Amino acid sequence: MAYLSMGESHRRITDYLNRFADAINYQDGDSLARLFSVSSDSPSLLSLADALNVFQDANRLIKQSEKFSQFGEVVAPFFRSLQCYRLGNLVDAYGAFEKASNAFIQEFRNWESGWALEALYVIAYEIRVLAERADRELASNGKSPEKLKGAGSFLMKVFGVLAGSCDLQGKGPKRVGALYVTCQLFKIYFKLGTVNLCRSVIRSIETARIFDFEEFPIRDKVTYMYYTGRLEVLNENFPAADQKLSYALTHCCLSKEANIRMILKYLIPVKLSIGILPKKQLLENYDLVEYNNIVEALKRGDLRLLRSALQENEDQFLRSGVYLVLEKLELQVYQRLLKKIYIIQKQKDPSKAHQVKLEVIVKALKWLEIEMDLDEVECIVAILIYKNLMKGYFAHKSKVVVLSKQDPFPKLNGKPVAS
């Protein structure tokens, strides 16, 4: 690091303090926001951090002038946080940043309009990101990671501030920020695995009269629907998951390809579960090739392909949480296999096509290198009929499944398989 003089450090710090005070006095939300983004590693903040570490007594500067000291409660811990961040001490950086944020929120409450929302967004984002990094540091030192959990509690408080804000007319220009904070909370809860905590904030957003969903910024609505859609996938509630993830997809800006990919990653298993197959082109365009073979298996009734596709991408599917959903597609694959047998039989002898010997199914499975005895085949046939994937009955004495002459393989038509 090049030598930094005391004079230069002093200049940088005062420069920042001036910008900070000006941003607040002129209600310049965008400028204020930029002043808080620690983790962005912006050159100006990094150079400020270096200056702080050299100067060491920034508090004196803050107290020197009324212009700066009125924001001392925010700026002093923020400076500490920036210094720690620069020195690689993430745990302390987080702690100080939370202190600064707390002080900021107290000020924010008193400001009338929503001019400072951009800054609030940055703070909410930084709280989460710094907490994540602090936890990584704790874990690597053999300590219990707890900062992200604390960040969640802090953001809940922020949510409360936004929800409770309103001006004299009873409307709240700050309320529109609540969805962004909600999305940060979702990210935290998903990372921690404590998604049950999402419930209370979802309830507030969706049922409280103070919130009008349509008034929130589109970007936040898409993120919100993405996460709530994912929750529905985890609960295997497919119609709701379809609705939410589709909303996110249709409202997502087309240029945000990475986001579209993330939405599709969860929407595709949902669509597959209700009998809708994506085009191969879609999978290629968004690099979701792990679903290729699964779609193929469903088209062909190829149980072996489904199983091998699941095994090949087991890690990935388990990590994204869609493995259990994809596993259940077996029933639809069986349905397709039986339908193919039926079609082949129809071509040979239409009058007898609706009777399928269980032995034939065993043979078909054998060709797919799957060993299954008659009992289990009968069981599968029974379940398919029971769940309305097939219409008919089985006659166990003749070891035959008799299919209905009309519509023996009802389509799912956008509804999930009966459970």
* Residue 90 dihedral angles phi and psi, to the nearest 5°: -70, -30
By CB under 8 A, residue 275 contacts another protein:
no
Q: Is 379 in the site for another protein (CB under 8 A)?
A: yes
Show Cβ contacts of residue 143 under 8 Å, excluding neighbours closer than 6 positions: none
Q: Does 402 bind another protein (CB under 8 A)?
A: yes
Is 328 a residue that touches another protein (CB under 8 A)?
yes
Within positions 48 to 67, which residues make up the interface with another protein, using CB under 8 A? none
Shortest distance (Å) from residue 34 CB to another protein: 33
Question: x/- string (CB under 8 A) for another protein, residues 164-193?
Answer: -----------------------------x
The Cα angle at residue 100 between residues 97 and 105, in degrees rounded to 5: 120
| Among 159, 216, 226, 394, interactor with another protein by CB under 8 A | 394
Assigned token pair, 387: 């769940």
Alpha helix (H) residue ranges in 292-397: 292-300, 303-312, 314-320, 323-327, 330-348, 358-367, 374-386
- Site residue total, another protein (CB under 8 A): 46
143 binds another protein (CB under 8 A): yes
Does position 196 interact with another protein (CB under 8 A)? The reply is yes
Question: Rule CB under 8 A: is residue 308 a binding residue for another protein?
Answer: no
As a whole number of angstroms, the distance between CA 295 and CA 290 comes to 10
Q: Does 314 bind another protein (CB under 8 A)?
A: yes
Residue of the chain from 145, 229, 301, 408 that contacts another protein (CB under 8 A): 145
Binding window for another protein (CB under 8 A); candidates: 6-14, 107-115, 298-306, 372-380: 372-380
Structure-token pair, residue 124: 């909410």
Contacts 24+ apart (CB under 8 A), 228-234: 228/198, 228/202, 229/263, 229/266, 229/267, 230/190, 230/266, 230/321, 231/195, 231/198, 233/266, 233/269, 233/270, 233/321, 233/322, 233/325, 234/195, 234/321
Minimum CB distance to another protein, residue 130 (Å): 17
Candidates 203, 376, 388, 410; binder of another protein (CB under 8 A) is 376
Q: What share of the chain is helix, strand, coil (3-state, %, to 5)?
A: 70, 5, 25
Cα 392 off chain centre by = 42
Which residue's CB is nearer to another protein, number 5 or number 388?
Answer: 388
User: Which of 67, 330, 368, 416 lies at the binding interface for another protein (CB under 8 A)?
Assistant: 330
235, 250, 308, 316: residue in contact with another protein (rule CB under 8 A): 235
CA angle 318, 257, 181 (to 5 degrees): 75
Q: Could you list the residues that contact another protein (CB under 8 A)?
A: 141-146, 149, 193-196, 234-236, 314-315, 318-319, 321-325, 327-328, 330-331, 375-376, 378-383, 385-387, 393-398, 402, 419
